Structure 1
Amino acid sequence: MPNVDYSALAASYDVEAARAAFPIKTLSVTPAGEGHKVLSFGIPSYNAAKDMDHCISSILEGSKCASDIEIIIVNDGSKDETGAKADEWEARYPGIVRVVHQENGGHGMAVRAGLREARGTYYKVVDSDDWLDADALATMLQLLRGFEERDLRVDLFISNYVYEKVHEGTHTTISYRMALPRKKVFTWGDIGRFRPDQNLLMHSLCYRTDVLRAHDLPMPPHTFYVDNIYAYVPLPNCETLYYADIDLYRYFIGREGQSVNEEIMVGRLDQQFRITRIMMQAYHLYEDVPQERLRSYMMGYFTMMMAICSVFTKLSDKPGIEDELADLWAELKAYDEKMYRKARHGVIGIGTNLPGKLGEKTTIGMYHLASKIFKFN
């Protein structure tokens, strides 16, 4: 393990230094035949001892412990029994479960470590406190195996996810039925319009491993919300897609200290700014992304990120935070004026940056209403 100054990396969001510290070495995906893996699951795990069994069991159940899947548990410097429990799982399921132990680098570094070790044609991230639906996973594996049997290249497999508010006993499914074609391989030119609650998040995505490795992932260490980078930066490199209308991923909401908790998000606003800057600098969307419908979708996603920064600035009482937001908008305008105009002067940009105290109350009220409707935190 290289000697890395994590605090300096996190403060500067030095992506190149992070890549050097946690490289994604190019492992050959095992060829079809003996030992071939169609799907690798990366499970970033930090102090996950009480949650990880449910997560791992759900994958083993849905896959029926098939030999063509693998589960890579990344113990990201945990201080509890995560490492020991991970080793027990590996001992019980050799050839299916593998463990990576590393110094703590944060969620993004754990995602990269799983990708580095993955031997499957496809790679899917499942956070240790979430789980997969068994029947939906069985369907997914049947489809992925079918792609390989027919030598059909699919760069991105998309499925639905479910917000599981266990403490409330409620479930909210995010599906893409009106936005994406079904039962066929398609390209970005075939997609429809996405509602604001329909962004493609990490939970809904399963990439071909070689797509992620070929272009790298600019994940900063010790930073929350890197799943937005994972769900945004690789998209232009995906040429063929498939959408399965299955409720696969179960996203647990309600854990104490969870990153999507409103109070936590306000306290981590600097990290939200950091992630948004990385996404900003990933593309000049109107120059770098030729597919019109993909460009429109990505512009909508990026606008949402800027809106989140604007809303949580209004919720924060940190001194000088409004100046930091103004700097972020100024950086965007200097970086790409067309992206700035779309983000700042569209309906969402105007609605989340209303002036004055009344405007602030209106913006916050709109946010809380959206939170109740879409149940995203």
Structure 2
Amino acid sequence: MKKLSIIVPIYNMEKYIDRCVQSVLDAKLNDSIEILLINDGSKDKSQEIMDSYYKQHPDIIRVFNKENGGHGSVINFGIDKSEGKYLKILDSDDYFNTENLKKLIAFLDKNEEVDLIITSYYKVFENSCLKQKLNIKSNEIMPLESLYSIFSGNSNKENINYVPMAMVTYKTKVLKNCKKRLLEKTYYVDTEFNVFYINEVNDFIYLDLPIYNYCIGRADQSISSQSFVNNYNDHSKVVHSIIEYYNTHLFKTKIHKLVTEIMIVRLLNTQYAIYGYHLKKGYNSQLQKVMLDFDQWLKQESPYLYDKMAIRKYISLGRKHNFNKRIYRPFFFKLAIAWEMMRGTWKKYNI
């Protein structure tokens, strides 16, 4: 069995595949790694490029071609097909630090029991990069309680208090044993990825080893303000899916539930902010009704989480004024953030 499966979702990424795949191949770890190149119905030359890599490296590369189903469907498919001891996702427009990937494999050669490995990573902009890491002891296996302490604390520009997909490497068995699968044809399923699977984790280790280079700047990226607005319904579907999971899942321990709640609060913060902050103009009575309906839905589905969201000043103000467009807009959103920053509550997600 190989040490690591790397799932590479591909959809119309002919411009970026070479950089992505080569960052793994250059590590020359053919005996330890498998790369699953999964074409999600691309219409460009992605498949040709994938086939070329397979012909050159059949001992490390596996190629799959499936109908378009979105990022979540590729991850679901990849989990089922993966044969490595551990599993990591690498989006095809991003790339690995080759030398640090070698160090991860060296670590896996000596450690095969921990459920989750968290590593630092870089946000890569056009002219700069920013390291993102956890303010936690490195190279020590810890129980999930330690991750809760990080999640419920403050963050700053470099030390963050959450764990995006770019930071995680799961034991493949953990993912395969989980019965939940990600939504298909839907953006923002990365939150589902961690919420569902972290609840199967008993312990983790943090390595201050920036492996993943997360490239930011493409206008069509799902994290841009315009994409949040355009794909509001997708984000809402993810929220509904995760709230349903939260309401029906039998959590292994109280800590598992608390960690999940903090991740959900982060997701809900974004949901409320899409029309209050990311939408620069055009907020109207129809969108106001969308916000009112969502807020009432959350109150009905999870009164506990509904009450916890009142810690955000822009949400409590929005509720007080029925999400009226005079209040629920970027100007007041920024004022609410400034007010919370003065009080020292803005960066805290402790619930």
- TM-score, structure 2 length as denominator? 0.85
Q: Could you say which residue in structure 1 is the equivalent of 2:183?
A: 220
Q: Post-superposition shift, 1:77?
A: 0.4
Q: Is the Cα contact below 8 Å between 1:154 and 1:185 reproduced in 2?
A: yes
Q: Could you say which residue in structure 1 is the equivalent of 2:70?
A: 106
Mapping for residues 1-377 of structure 1, pairs under 5 Å: 36-62=1-27, 64-148=28-112, 153-166=113-126, 169-176=127-134, 178=135, 180-191=136-147, 192-194=149-151, 195=154, 197-284=160-247, 288=251, 290-292=253-255, 294-314=256-276, 315-316=278-279, 317=282, 320-345=286-311, 349-350=315-316, 355=321, 356=324, 357-358=326-327, 360=329, 361-364=331-334
| In structure 1, distance between residues paired with 2:52 and 2:250 | 50
Q: Post-superposition shift, 1:94?
A: 0.9
Q: Could you say which residue in structure 2 is the equivalent of 1:21?
A: none
Q: Is the Cα contact below 8 Å between 2:116 and 2:168 reproduced in 1?
A: yes
Question: Percent identity, aligned pairs only?
Answer: 23
Q: Post-superposition shift, 1:331?
A: 2.3
Cα offsets for 1:94-123 (capped at 9, x unmatched): 120010100111111111111111000111
Judged with a 3 Å threshold, the aligned counterparts in structure 2 of structure 1 residues 278 and 367 are, in CA distance, closer, same or farther, namely farther
| In structure 2, distance between residues paired with 1:364 and 1:304 | 17
Q: Could you say which residue in structure 1 is the equivalent of 2:344?
A: none
Cα offsets for 1:125-170 (capped at 9, x unmatched): 000000111121111111111113xxxx11111001211012xx12
Q: Post-superposition shift, 1:349?
A: 4.6
Q: In structure 2, what residue type is equivalent to 1:343?
A: M
| In structure 2, distance between residues paired with 1:312 and 1:243 | 32
2:3 aligned counterpart, secondary structure: strand
Q: Is the Cα contact below 8 Å between 2:318 and 2:327 reproduced in 1?
A: no
Q: Post-superposition shift, 1:89?
A: 0.6
Cα offsets for 1:41-78 (capped at 9, x unmatched): 0000000111011011111123x233121000000000
Greater displacement, 40-49 / 205-214: 205-214
Q: In structure 1, what residue type is equivalent to 2:68?
A: N
Q: Is the Cα contact below 8 Å between 1:310 and 1:353 reproduced in 2?
A: no
Judged with a 3 Å threshold, the aligned counterparts in structure 2 of structure 1 residues 351 and 156 are, in CA distance, closer, same or farther, namely farther
Q: In structure 1, what residue type is equivalent to 2:89?
A: V
Give structure 1 stretches of 5+ with no counterpart.
1-35
Judged with a 3 Å threshold, the aligned counterparts in structure 2 of structure 1 residues 358 and 132 are, in CA distance, closer, same or farther, namely same
1:99 aligned counterpart, secondary structure: strand
| In structure 1, distance between residues paired with 2:314 and 2:67 | 40
Q: Is the Cα contact below 8 Å between 1:353 and 1:359 reproduced in 2?
A: no
Q: Is the Cα contact below 8 Å between 1:286 and 1:295 reproduced in 2?
A: no
1:90 aligned counterpart, secondary structure: helix
Cα offsets for 1:272-310 (capped at 9, x unmatched): 111111111111499736233x44443222112111111
Q: In structure 1, what residue type is equivalent to 2:144?
A: W
Q: In structure 2, what residue type is equivalent to 1:98?
A: R
| In structure 2, distance between residues paired with 1:49 and 1:366 | 42
1:193 aligned counterpart, secondary structure: helix
Greater displacement, 352-361 / 212-221: 352-361
| In structure 2, distance between residues paired with 1:46 and 1:286 | 33
Q: In structure 1, what residue type is equivalent to 2:261?
A: M
| In structure 2, distance between residues paired with 1:369 and 1:124 | 39
1:232 aligned counterpart, secondary structure: helix
Q: Is the Cα contact below 8 Å between 1:183 and 1:242 reproduced in 2?
A: yes
| In structure 1, distance between residues paired with 2:82 and 2:164 | 21
1:273 aligned counterpart, secondary structure: helix
2:138 aligned counterpart, secondary structure: coil
Q: Is the Cα contact below 8 Å between 1:353 and 1:363 reproduced in 2?
A: no
Q: Is the Cα contact below 8 Å between 1:352 and 1:363 reproduced in 2?
A: no
| In structure 2, distance between residues paired with 1:340 and 1:358 | 20
Q: Post-superposition shift, 1:322?
A: 2.5
Judged with a 3 Å threshold, the aligned counterparts in structure 2 of structure 1 residues 351 and 87 are, in CA distance, closer, same or farther, namely farther
1:221 aligned counterpart, secondary structure: coil
Task: Count residues in correspondence.
Answer: 327
Q: In structure 1, what residue type is equivalent to 2:332?
A: T
| In structure 2, distance between residues paired with 1:257 and 1:190 | 36
Q: Is the Cα contact below 8 Å between 2:142 and 2:205 reproduced in 1?
A: yes
Cα offsets for 1:257-280 (capped at 9, x unmatched): 111111121111111111111111
Judged with a 3 Å threshold, the aligned counterparts in structure 2 of structure 1 residues 318 and 244 are, in CA distance, closer, same or farther, namely same
Q: Post-superposition shift, 1:325?
A: 2.5
Q: Post-superposition shift, 1:174?
A: 1.3
